[in-house]
Chains A and B, each alone.
Chain A
Amino acid sequence: MSDGFTFSVLGRSITLLNNWIEPRLAVAYFAWMVVAFIGLMQVAAGRWQRPTWRWLPERWAVPVGALLWGGALLAFFLTNRRWVRAPGPATAETAILLAAAYVVALVLTRLLAWGGTRVR
């Protein structure tokens, strides 16, 4: 993963997804973004009236989801104060981490919502 993918265009080589630089930061960012997106999905479920995505009571979905999102972002910075000043993943690498975090958050949200329905 750290070596990325190299290919040649017009005689010049281009390497993609090789710029993770500080892996600890990438892993921490991914983990906190999973939590943030789980919160965001509750905000979206509450705001857009999507009960199949909601695992929190209707009146709590937006405020608790927003708190979870903001709290996860804050926690990422607070727990990585030393590392955020070091080079982290570049734009494309960050996009990959965000997309992966979305997929994991989506699976967890659907499981929680499904579990909640079963319990009710």
Chain B
Amino acid sequence: MGALDWALFRMINGLAGQWPALDGVMFFLATDYMVPTIAFSLVLFFWLSGRDAERSMAVSGLVAFVWANVIVKGLNLLWQRPRPFTTHDEVTLLFYRPSDPSFPANSAMALAALGWAIWRHNRRVGGVFLVLALAMGVARVYVGVHYPFDVLGGWMLGLVAAETWYRYGEPRAAPFITLMGRFLARIGLA
């Protein structure tokens, strides 16, 4: 498993440093600012729709995002996988050295959770989020800060987090979310 992970890592990270244009694109996809800003802006766009369905979709995505982050914190208590650049010399690092554990890839997990929760409401919009999660995950491996299995694990855990919320949490919370959305809209916050 570790050997396969390392082989995949070498395959993707091995491309880094060869084409400056590709390095630039991957760096911007991997930063904490580009993809998260686009994702949050999309959520905000639907939150401001003034319609119950779109507002519920946005809230559902945000709750799945928070739930995924809680799971990450819990997992980090149990296992702290070192980053590729701390255990291997043959890593082309195009990024700063993050200090938190490598598994799971937080960004991949959070975006997958957001995307899957939204996909359950609107497949076209959810699909955009899942493509963003895919792009950021691959970019994080390319720039050398995650192993591929960190990203795969992040995506899987994100999907599980969103699905558990969608199946067990959202049906109970839906009336409250609708009422809260209407109340916030009435006082001018949504």
Binding site for B on A (CB under 8 A): 9-10, 12, 14, 19, 29, 33, 36-37, 40-41, 43-45, 47-48, 50, 52-53, 69, 73, 76-77, 84-92, 94-95, 98, 102, 106, 110
Contact = CB atoms under 8 A, between A and B. Distances in A.
Given A29-B33, A86-B96, A98-B37, A41 B48 contact: yes
Interface of B: 28, 31-34, 36-37, 40-41, 44-45, 48-51, 65, 69, 73, 77, 95-100, 106-107, 110, 188-189
- Cβ-closest 4 pairs across A and B: A44-B48, A87-B96, A48-B49, A98-B40
B96 A90 contact: no
Nearest to A80: B33
A84 B31 CA distance: 8
A8 B28 CA distance: 36
B45 A44 contact: yes
Contacts of A41: 48
Given A44-B48, A76-B33, A90-B32, A37 B41 contact: yes
Contacts, number: 72
Contacts of B33: 29, 76-77, 84, 88, 94
Dominant SS among interface residues on chain A: helix
A94 B73 contact: no
Nearest to A9: B77
A91 B48 contact: no
A70 B181 CA distance: 27
A88 to B, nearest CB: 6
28 contacts: A9-B77, A36-B37, A37-B41, A41-B48, A43-B45, A44-B48, A47-B45, A48-B49, A50-B48, A50-B50, A69-B41, A73-B34, A76-B33, A85-B95, A85-B96, A86-B96, A87-B99, A89-B32, A90-B32, A90-B106, A91-B32, A91-B69, A91-B106, A91-B107, A95-B40, A98-B37, A98-B40, A110-B188
B48 A48 contact: yes
A43 B28 CA distance: 24
